[in-house]
Amino acid sequence: MWFPYYIQFLIYSVGVNVFLLFTCVIYYSDVFLTNFNRNLLQEYDYIIVGAGTAGSLIGHRLATETNFTFMVFEAGGRSHFLYEIPIIGPLLHGSVYDWQFETTPQENACLAMVDRKCKLTQGKIVGGSSKLNNMIHIRGNLSHYAEWFHGVHNEEYIRQHFDFLEEYFLNIDDIPYQSEMTDAILDAAKELGYEKLDKHFKKGFSKSRVTHKNGKRWTTSDMLDLNKHVTTNALVEKVLIINNKSFGVSVRISDKTHIVLARKGVILSAGTLNTPKILQLSGVGPSKLLKSLNIPIIQDLPVGLNLQDHVGSGLDLILLNKTLSVSAANIINPLNLFHYIQGKGPWTNPGCEVLGFLSTKNLTTPDIEIMVLPVGIASDRGSLLRKLIGISDEVWNEYFTKTFNYHTATFFTVILHPKSKGNVFIKSTDPEIPPLVNPRYLSAKEDVDTLITGLKLAIKFIKTDSLKAIEAHLNTNSFPGCTQFPFFSDAYLECYVRHLTLTSYHPVGTCSMGLSDSKNSVVDTSFRVLNIQNLYIADASILPTLPSGNINAAVTVMANIFFEKNIKHVSHNSDKVFYCHSYDQIYQYLFKICSLK
C-alpha cells in the first residue's frame, strides 16, 4: 500500500530538488554579474532600502513622475520569468530567495513544529514577499486605516488612493483557473446564509482577487527599470546619522562596504523584520537593547516592539474521496505549460481560491478570515511543504501520513486582530546575523478562544450539501498530543491550535506609526522617523495594527500615500541654501558632505 506513495514522494522530490538547484544557479549568477553591472553613484537624492511592494512602487513613481535621482538597494537577487508562474510560489519558500527567518521557541504555540519554532518566510528578491505570496489583493476595513493616521486622513481619502492604484498601477483580476472547491464553497456559504463579499468589506465570502497579468504573477517591482534604478545583492548594514539627520547608508556589495549618500532622504522599505534590524544597528531603538550591544544611542524609540501577525490553523482539515483538478500530480504535469502560456490552466492558480470573513462575536465587522486552499501539505507526500512549515517527524508520521488515501484541502482559519504581541531584536552588531523574532503567538487567551470559535464556524461548511456533493468530509484523525481530549471539544481544539499554529506571513507593527508624543510610536503620520531628519519608513512595519485581511494591498496604499505626502509635492526649486559639514574621522577623510538645511 505504501509503495505508490513512496514512488510519488520520489517523483515530487526529484522535481523539487531540480527546481531548487535551478534557483541556486540563477541566484548566484546574479550575484556574480552584480560585480560587472554595478553603476553606483556616490550620491543620490533618495535611497530606498528594499525592492518589495512598497519600495518598488515608490521607486516607480520617482522614476516616472520626478527628476530626482535615486537608487533602490535590494539584499536579494533578481527575479526570473519562471518565478512568475503563480503555482511556483511555495517552491521559493525556504530557498535562496527567502530570508529563512524563524521564531524563537514558542511557549504557547508551534508545538507541532521542530524545536517549537514557526517558519517566517519573507522574500529576499526583487519584489519582496509579493514574489512568494498567494497574490491576494483585498482592501479590508478602511476604518482601520483612518485610525492609523489618527484623523489626519479619513476613509474617503484612503478609498481614493485605492481607486487610483487599482485603476492606474495594479493588475487585479480573478484567478484564471480554479478547482471544483471554489463553487462548492461559495454555494455552501449561500446555504449558511452568508452574503457575497464586496469592496465595502462586510462579512461574507468571495473568490480571491489576485495581482496577476495574463495568468502570470504580477508585482509592483515589474514596473521598475532594474538596470537603472536597482542594485541587487546589496545588504544595507545601517543608516548613517549625524546630529539627528540621516545622510546616507552603509551598504555591503560583494563583500565590500560602500558609503552612499542621500541628499533628500533615506526610505526604509525592508519589511517588518529587517527594517527594525537596520534601525537598531544604526543606533535607533530601545536604549536597553542598544546598550547591551555597545551601540551608540542616537534615539531611544520602541523599534522592534509591537510585532503582530495573522496566525491561524486548519491545515488538511478537509478530506475528499476524489482528487480535485488542482493537485500535486496535476501541477507537475508538463502539458500544463501549454495552458499556462495562454494564461490558463492549473499553473495560474496561486493557492488560495476563496476568502471568507466572519465574526465570532456576531458583530458587523469580521474578526476571522478563512482562506480556502484546494490542496493540503500532505499532497506532496512530504517532499517539500512539511519542511517549509517545520512539521516534526512525530506529527507527520502520526497525523498527516494517515491522509494519503484522500485528497487533502485546507480551511486555513486566521485571527484578523490578535491581542498577542511580540518583538524583533538584533542579537549582534553583525548585519549578516538574523534578528531574534519572538511573536509570542497565542500568548493571549482571547486569541485562542477566537480561533476555536472560528474553526467551529469553518466546520459548518463541511457539513453542507454543497461540500458533500464533492465528497468532502472532516479529517477525524486525532492530532498527536491532543488525543486525551474528546475530539473537537474546546479542550481538543485549544490543544490543536497550539500545536498546529501557522502564520500567514503577515508581520506588522515593529516601527509603528502614531502621534509624535506617544511612547509607542516610531514614525509620525507623515512616515518620518521621530526626531531624525530625512529618515522615513514605508513598509508593513509602520502599521500599528493588522489590517482586516492579507496585507499586500495595505502596504501598497501606504507606499502611495507616502509618495504623495513626502515626494510628489517637493519642489526642485527650493530656496534653501547649501552648507557643508565635516563629520567624524571615518568619513571626513573620504569626502565632504553637502546637505540642504
pLDDT at 595: 37
Distance CA 199, CA 251 (A): 42
Q: Give the CA dihedral 277, 279, 283, 284, nearest 10 degrees.
A: -120
Q: Cell 499586500 sits at which residue?
A: 552
pLDDT at 587: 39
| Of 236, 11, 109, nearest in space to 500 by CA | 109
Task: Answer yes or no: are the C-beta atoms of 308 and 331 closer than 8 Å.
Answer: no
Distance CA 104, CA 355 (A): 30
pLDDT at 201: 75
Could you read off the pLDDT of 108-150 as tens digits, one per residue?
999 999 999 999 999 999 999 999 999 999 999 999 999 999 9
- The total of other beta-carbon atoms located within 10 Å of residue 291's CB is 12
Q: Which three cell numbers stand for residue 331?
A: 501541477
SS3 230: strand
pTM, whole model, 2 decimals? Answer: 0.94
Distance CA 460, CA 457 (A): 5
Q: Binding site annotation covers 236?
A: yes
Q: Who's near 533: CB < 8 A, 6+ residues apart?
A: 244, 245, 246
Domains present along the chain, CATH in parentheses: 30-101+121-172+218-308+424-436+507-597 (3.50.50.60), 175-207+311-417+443-500 (3.30.410.40)
Residues with pLDDT less than 70, the chain: 1-2, 37-38, 199-200, 571-597
pLDDT at 6: 80
DSSP state of 568: I
pLDDT at 37: 65
Distance CA 280, CA 191 (A): 52
Q: Which three cell numbers stand for residue 9?
A: 514522494
| Of 201, 210, 156, nearest in space to 182 by CA | 210
pLDDT at 596: 36
The strand pairing partners of 230, in sequence order, are 72
The strand pairing partners of 358, in sequence order, are 368
